[in-house]
Amino acid sequence: MAKIKDVVTLKSGYANFVELKSTFEKARENADRMAMYRPTKAHRRAFERICRGLFQPTDKKFYLLSGSYGTGKSHLCLLTANVLSLSSGDPAISGFYNNYGKMDAEQVKRLKNIRKDGQYLVVICDYHSGRRFEDVVLKAVFEACAAKGFDAGVETEFDEAERQLASWEGQVPYLSG
């Protein structure tokens, strides 16, 4: 008699949830999830509306993605992050386009043409850090820039504080009592 492990193969792309930031940053896990992702009709419709801004820059709409636990919001966000950060010819996302094409070949052609080359800076915030919203967003922007090798060259009050502390450490002799 065959054992279950010999009959059933689990695909690593399927999961109950996506830890968006860490999955996006881990190339292999990210590519595996994209290769296994099969967007539902509702996901395709939402994704296409979001992407409309790529070819209709006058689309000034704001999109709020909401839904119950397990409905695929994080998967949809991961998909969007990948499509925006990678060209349509990148091998890391080819599996996704293949799956999407099985459901809507014409739309995949349009999406691939929109994203032929170039990329957007994708910033994924870690909201579980307990920091203020502004700090979380700023930190995420700096991390995304650093990951792409881009020096944003933005000076913050924290940079000035670090310079001042370094200056004081170098100038003030230690006084013992």
Q: Which of 38, 34, 160 is nearest to 99 (CA)?
A: 38
What is the pLDDT, as a whole number, of residue 23?
A: 92
Q: Are 70 and 17 in contact (CB under 8 A)?
A: yes
Model pTM above 0.75:
no
- The pLDDT > 70 percentage for the chain reads 90
Cα distance between residue 86 and residue 36, in whole Å:
17
Identify which has the larger pLDDT, 79 or 8: 79
For range 160-177, the mean pLDDT: 74
Whether 126 and 22 have beta carbons less than 8 Å apart is answered as no
Residue 120: partners with Cβ closer than 8 Å, 6 or more residues away: 84, 85
The per-residue pLDDT for 119 is 79
Q: How far apart (Å, rounded) are the C-alpha atoms in residues 133 and 124?
A: 13
Average pLDDT in the chain = 82
Tell me 122's DSSP state: -
- Find out whether 54 and 110 touch, Cβ atoms under 8 Å: no
- Each residue of 6-60: pLDDT tens digit? 887 765 544 567 889 999 999 899 888 888 888 888 888 888 888 877 667 777 7
Contact present, 75 and 23 (Cβ < 8 Å): no
